[in-house]
Amino acid sequence: MNYPFEVKDLPYTYNALAPYLCEEILKFHHDKHYVTYVNKLNEILKNYKNLQNMTLDELLIQTEEIPNEIKTAIKNNAGGVYNHELYFACMNSADSELPTDKLALAINSSFGSIDNFKAELTAAAVNQFGSGYAWLILSNGKLEIISTPNQDTPISLTVNPLLCIDVWEHAYYLQYQNRRPDYVDNWFNLINWSYVGARYMSLVKEQA
């Protein structure tokens, strides 16, 4: 998909993630914040026809193609679109089950156990200073956990994200106030492991 970028609907209803994330948060997060990033990205690209055929991934990876005067704006707004779309897709309306099959083996190989994985991702999310995200990524065939500030994206670092947790305050403040650790702990109940597992298998096949 390229310009004009379209707003993607949530893959569930606004109240589907309760009690872990309330309806008010999802409406505010999706309909205000995410939609604003889409609209701003389209507004920027409106005057740069040479960039209008680029996909979202290409705008974030092929930064040498982006004129200097809009590099930061593209990074922030294309990143905002990419990060939000992955964040929403990585959650599920049903209580999260544990990862299975090859993804489970990869997590155990990389982190020692699912509990260690959860502890490392929690630390990355809780300790991210200010706004940003914590990520599970695939880098050179190995799973790793990283955090990024603001709307920076792992694909700009030429690694492949599998899932992310948004720790901007707008992702949780209406329900959790300043209790980011509580939000992060509850978010683990929402991980759509089927989606993450399919994403992992697709990337593994591409890199084989």
20-29 residue pLDDT tens:
999 999 999 9
Whether 125 maps to a domain, the answer reads yes
Lowest mean pLDDT among 71-80, 82-91, 99-108, 168-177: 99-108
**Separation of alpha carbons 62 and 59, rounded Å:** 6
Q: Where are the beta strands (DSSP E) in 127-201?
A: 132-139, 142-149, 160-166
Measured in whole angstroms, the distance separating CA 117 from the mean position of its chain's CA atoms is: 17
* 81 shares its domain with 132: no
We report the CATH number of the domain holding residue 149 as 3.55.40.20
Stretch 116-131: mean pLDDT, rounded? 97
In sequence order, the 6+-apart residues with CB closer than 8 A to the CB of 162 are: 135, 136, 137, 138, 143, 196, 199, 200, 203
**Which three-class secondary structure state does DSSP give residue 83?**
helix
89, 121, 136 - which closes a domain: 89
Residue range 83-100, pLDDT digits in tens = 999 999 999 987 667 787
Dihedral angle, C-alpha 155, 159, 161, 167, nearest 10 °: -70
Q: In which domain, by residue range, is 145 found? A: 101-207
43, 63, 89 - which closes a domain: 89
Residue range 38-64, pLDDT digits in tens = 999 999 999 999 999 999 999 999 999
Q: What share of the chain is helix, strand, coil (3-state, %, to 5)?
A: 55, 10, 30
Whether 39 maps to a domain, the answer reads yes
67, 89, 111 - which closes a domain: 89
* 109 shares its domain with 82: no
In the prediction, which pLDDT does 80 show?
A: 98
pTM above 0.85, yes or no: yes
* 57 shares its domain with 145: no
Residue 208 above 70 pLDDT?
no
Average pLDDT of every residue of the chain: 95
* 137 shares its domain with 203: yes
* 106 shares its domain with 193: yes
Residue % of the chain over a pLDDT of 70: 99
- Report the number of distinct structural domains present in the chain: 2
Q: Which long-range contacts (CB under 8 A, 24 or more apart) does 166-172 make?
A: 166/29, 166/83, 166/84, 166/87, 166/133, 167/125, 167/126, 167/128, 167/131, 167/132, 167/133, 167/134, 168/33, 168/131, 168/132, 169/131, 170/28, 170/29, 170/33, 171/25, 171/29, 171/87, 172/21, 172/25
